[in-house]
């Protein structure tokens, strides 16, 4: 499994990752394995073919990372002792690759008729962290701010794993992505954290921003206010 490559099988993606150091490769493998599992479960919960396709695409990314790790180990091994010490990296890469393969098998369940997979909801409900989808309303104080500025995960314990807006889906969004009115957020977290985030998203509670501690912070807040006004004007105009 996992023979596909991101970017249409372009070897440039592999070569780019070969230039990464081992710490960067391992970090990306960890992050990718987490998001790929989250998206796999979310695709089943919301019967989303597009999420399933993203899982399979990210499986190709994991293949590229595994290739890069193997390349690093082969280039660094000069003696039997080197090989012994570096073998742990291959074990980590193999474990992460197995996770991506398992996620791909999970999304294959979408091929089953919905009525034949009622066990999935029950299985997910027993998890300590759950995946939920929520919509950001125009009156939400989150509108116009970036994920990083809001510090969503730190404030609510929920990680945004995907956002759907007028432009389509964005998976594993970066901190500089802005939240817009009407966005659908797919998040992973505890029930308490998700319930709190729903209150913010629906405008039933105001987001609690830290007080700016310098003039730069004040200027940044003023810029954010201008961005919010522009976001609202865009929403009024429509797509």
Is 120 among the domain residues?
A: no
Q: What is the pLDDT tens value at each position of the chain, 239 positions in all?
A: 333 333 334 444 555 677 788 888 888 888 888 899 889 888 887 788 888 999 989 888 888 888 888 888 888 888 888 888 788 888 888 888 888 888 888 888 888 776 666 566 666 666 667 888 899 999 999 999 999 999 999 999 999 999 999 888 898 899 999 999 999 999 998 889 999 999 999 999 999 876 655 444 444 555 555 665 665 566 555 55
Q: How far apart are CA 152 and CA 204, in angstroms?
A: 16
What are the beta bridge partners of residue 168? 165
Q: Which domain holds residue 186?
A: 128-237
pLDDT value for 12: 46
92 and 146 share a domain? no
Q: How many domains does the chain have?
A: 2
The answer to whether residues 152 and 203 belong to one domain is yes
Residue 36: CATH number of its domain: 1.20.58.220
The domain boundary, picked from 51, 80, 114, lies at 114
In this prediction, residue 175 carries a pLDDT of 94
């Amino acid at each position: 499994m996992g023979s596909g490559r991101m970017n249409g099988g372009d070897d440039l993606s592999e070569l780019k990752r070969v230039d990464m150091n081992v710490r960067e490769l391992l970090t990306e493998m960890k992050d990718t394995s987490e998001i790929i599992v989250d998206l796999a479960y979310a695709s089943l919960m919301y019967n989303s073919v597009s999420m399933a396709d993203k899982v399979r695409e990210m499986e190709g990314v994991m293949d590229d990372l595994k290739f890069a790790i193997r390349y690093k180990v082969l280039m660094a091994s000069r003696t039997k002792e080197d090989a012994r010490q570096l073998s742990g990296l291959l074990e980590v890469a193999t474990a992460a690759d197995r996770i991506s393969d398992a996620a791909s098998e999970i999304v294959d369940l979408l091929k089953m008729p919905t009525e034949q997979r009622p066990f999935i909801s029950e299985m997910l409900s027993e998890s300590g962290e759950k995946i939920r989808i929520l919509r950001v309303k125009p009156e939400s104080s989150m509108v116009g701010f970036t994920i990083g500025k809001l510090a969503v995960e730190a404030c609510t314990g929920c990680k945004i794993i995907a956002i759907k807006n007028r432009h389509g889906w964005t998976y594993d969004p970066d901190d500089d992505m802005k939240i817009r009115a009407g966005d659908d957020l797919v998040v992973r977290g505890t029930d308490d954290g998700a319930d709190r985030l729903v209150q913010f998203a629906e405008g039933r509670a105001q987001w609690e921003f830290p007080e700016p501690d310098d003039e730069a912070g004040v200027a940044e807040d003023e810029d954010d206010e201008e961005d919010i006004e522009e976001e609202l004007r865009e929403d009024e105009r429509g797509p």
